[in-house]
Structure 1
């Protein structure tokens, strides 16, 4: 199946922090774009608000707008949210269709850590394999936009691919739709490079390119600022 012609399921989370093995899920959004890079029908969206069972730091609340009190009063139990999201993701993967995630190792690794923490089957256990196929616009842009100056955030990347950067970025439902739009722009702009790949061919290509980027970044940091860093080669799951 050519990756541009199958249903894409966009996935994004907002959390209590930035540490994938320690922090907790607060919100999640899934958006089904049924025609992939050729949208002809309205997207189907589902969102969740969880009570993560821990305090949400003020720094995290300032980003996504969810406070501890609001989550406790309005959120669903975290185990219910995790099981719902995991079931939807794995059902899509089992059909051979890709899940689209910007900076995939963060959201997918956090999901695995949360499922394991709460005694629920992980994505890998539900699938009987590592989560795949995954499409990560950040990995692709690091290759095709390698020499473009500036940070590679979703908001800054959006205009490069003809997408309006939303003012309400950093809410899961807005970010996931913007991620799908950016991927559509990449598909149109670089059809000669990626147009004939299957979902799994693109998945494996991203694994190789992420590992190469990590090695190059480590070398750059060592040479330019004399800083030794270790960047995980694992993708899309740390």
Structure 2
């Protein structure tokens, strides 16, 4: 059976911002779908360790600082549980589907290190298998014009998305987009998961190099080129001199 016809696990986070090194996870969802089984979703709301949630971020995901502090669980507890849930999925040989995986996996990695939780990659090692719909979409349709947010991908692949920018809706929608892409592109759907994971590493790097080249030749955007990273599915943590 091809990978997209079996169980898939959607993973998504909503955060305080877009800096994976310093921003914090506000909400997270790990949702198993497909395989002729019912959806099984786990959701978390963090108190963000007492930090403020910027107004701009709150407008995106709808979680204010007051709500996080009054209803959220301790950040360290949330991160530990999210990592454990994902580790269980990986060890069950279920691929994790994400939109722009390098963001979600990197911010989770930094949160784990921040709170003294063993990072996911240290638990599962090389068993991690990720399906990134952002990388796949750019691979199968590189010249399509327009934005490529998850909302845009859902519209393009005719996937329903109710409650965009909530972690659970986005996680499930990403799985449905992955199914659509795999169902219509044999290069993706017929690939073994090990092979597909390795291919996405190459594709993500090539896509990042192309984006950086675009920034360098575009007046006013040259400075953005240095910030483009091709690491996938997460940016490795930098070791400090004390480690």
TM-score (normalizing by structure 1): 0.92
| Secondary structure at 1:215 match in 2 | helix
| Mapping for residues 1-238 of structure 1, pairs under 5 Å | 2-35=2-35, 40-53=36-49, 54-127=51-124, 129=125, 132-166=128-162, 168-190=163-185, 192-225=186-219, 227-228=222-223, 229-230=225-226, 231-238=228-235
- Report how many residues are paired: 231
Q: CA RMSD in A?
A: 1.5
Following the alignment from structure 2 to structure 1, what is the Cα–Cα distance between the partners of residues 194 and 187?
15
Following the alignment from structure 1 to structure 2, what is the Cα–Cα distance between the partners of residues 151 and 46?
29
Following the alignment from structure 1 to structure 2, what is the Cα–Cα distance between the partners of residues 172 and 131?
24
CA contact (8 A) 1:132 1:200 kept: no
Shift of 1:96: 2.4
TM-score (normalizing by structure 2): 0.90
Q: Which moved further from structure 2: 96-105 or 222-231?
A: 222-231
> Can you give the 5+ residue segments of structure 2 that lack an aligned partner in the other structure?
236-243
Shift of 1:181: 1.3
Shift of 1:131: 6.7
> Can you give the 5+ residue segments of structure 1 that lack an aligned partner in the other structure?
none
